[in-house]
Amino acid sequence: MTPQIEVIYRSESRRVLATLIRVLGDFDLAEEALHEAFFVAVQRWPQDGIPANPRAWLVSTGRFKAIDRLRRQARFTPLLQEQADTLEAAQWSDEDVEDDRLRLIFTCCHPALAPDAQAALTLREICDLSTEAIAHAFLATPTTIAQRIVRAKGKIREAKIPYQVPSRAELPERLDSVLRVIYLVFNEGYSASRGADLTREDLTLEAIRLGRLLMELLPEPEVMGLLALMLLHESRRPARTSASGELVLLDAQDRGLWDTSLITEGCALVEQALTTRRFGPYCLQAAIAAVHAEAPSAEATDWRQIVGLYDVLLRAMPSPVIELNRAVAVAMEQGPASGLALVDSILQRGELQDYHLAHSARGEFCRQLGHVDEARGAYEKALSLTQQTPEKRFLERRLSELKSPRQ
């Protein structure tokens, strides 16, 4: 595959898949059609040139390949001939493809599917994550994740779940699961679960685009909150890695690199959402991000306000990960000993034992307190759990900087 085609695959394959699922009405057939279309592209484009509209070309080619596949299989399953004829007779237009991924998310998040299946299916189909990567994110086995995805596809097919954005009357009851999954997409882009790069800009931008589409449909406070949260996090992305690709922590980031236009938009959305007094967890997380965004430095950050917001957030959405984030804020306000005590209490409950950021935070607090051996053990544990190359390099650098008390 040439570099140009690789770029197109990375930027367009999920959009092409979403449209093929709409056109063909079947997940597995669409996935096969997508791969066949790119196989043809690899053969033809180097000689013929890349078409003016690669996405439309790929959808059209995939559609014809799917019809051909059904006709070949119709020799053994006659009903497939009728399906092939129906698909060939149907008209499709590339004018409405921008909404196909939003339609796909609502399909993947249909209430007929279990919540864990909704998330796994969306991460697989929208983000193109492998079952191994999804399993790592959910602390499950690849076999378990694969079974969830297969069952979810079967349920969509058997229940004839429609491939569409729900009506305005149905939107509110469907909203929570869609917000959760859009944020999962964003998080995978903001901090990739594995690989050589810390971030995947294609996923963060896609999640933001979907958030904007959703806000047009339903401008509810939590939709505003999620969009604000994504914008404020995305504003920091240019400063999160050095020129050489090394991880840069929040307190060491060059805030001059932060995107002020995204910060302005995000803070305005936070203010708008909070004035409704109907806000929830996404608005609260966005408010925390806004406090960070408005501070000229880590030292000037209003950590007491952030801790207070985390207290409210924990009452609204109890979570050991939120407790961990609060512990980091407490450490910034009261010192590393206070943060360490909170992290240890989380780990002693048996929670977050397999979460590398918990051990990384513990290592950082121990390092600041001069507890070198404990810091080393925590960093080594975090290193054994992370699958991301920049985080591995950061932890290895922290370990190399530690000096034994005996030295």
Domain CATH for 402: 1.25.40
For residue 216, the model assigns a pLDDT of 82
Mean pLDDT across 31-38: 93
Q: What is the CATH number of the domain that holds 88?
A: 1.10.1740
In a domain, 215, yes or no: no
Is 252 part of any domain?
no
In a domain, 108, yes or no: no
Candidates 331, 322, 381; CA nearest to 355 is 381
Condensed to tens digits (0 to 9), the pLDDT of residues 105-146 reads: 888 889 889 888 988 898 888 878 888 878 876 768 899 999
Does the pLDDT of residue 76 top 70, yes or no? no
| Final residue before a domain boundary, out of 62, 95, 128 | 95
Residue where a domain terminates, one of 43, 72, 95: 95
* Amino acid in the structure at residue 235: S
The verdict on residue 15 lying in a domain is yes
Task: Match 């399906």 to its residue by tokens.
Answer: 83
pLDDT of residue 194: 67
pLDDT of residue 237: 92
In a domain, 22, yes or no: yes
Q: What is the mean pLDDT of the chain?
A: 88
Instruction: Establish if 368 belongs to a structural domain.
Output: yes
Query: What gap in Å lies between CA 239 and CA 98, rounded to an integer?
Result: 30
Tell me the percentage of the chain whose pLDDT exceeds 90: 53
Select from 95, 121, 149 the last residue of a domain.
95
Q: How far is it, in rounded angstroms, from Cα 110 to Cα 224?
A: 22
Q: What's the confidence (pLDDT) of residue 94? A: 61
Residue 244 placed within a domain: no
Name the domain count of the chain: 2
Query: Does the structure show a pLDDT above 60 at 404?
Result: no
User: pLDDT tens digits for 173-204?
Assistant: 788 888 988 898 888 888 877 667 778 887 88
Question: What distance in Å separates the CA atoms of residue 196 and residue 244, rounded to the nearest whole number?
Answer: 12
pLDDT at 185: 83
Answer whether residue 88 shows pLDDT above 70.
no
- If we measure between CA atoms, which residue out of 367, 355, 366 comes closest to residue 391? 355
- C-alpha dist (Å) from residue 89 to 59, 83, 404: 16, 10, 74
Closest CA to 232 of 183, 277, 173: 183
Indicate whether 96 pLDDT > 90.
no
Task: State how far the alpha carbon of 284 is from the alpha carbons of 224, 226, 275, 289, in Å.
Answer: 11, 10, 12, 9
Which range of residues forms the domain containing residue 44?
Answer: 1-95
Q: Is 208 domain-assigned?
A: no
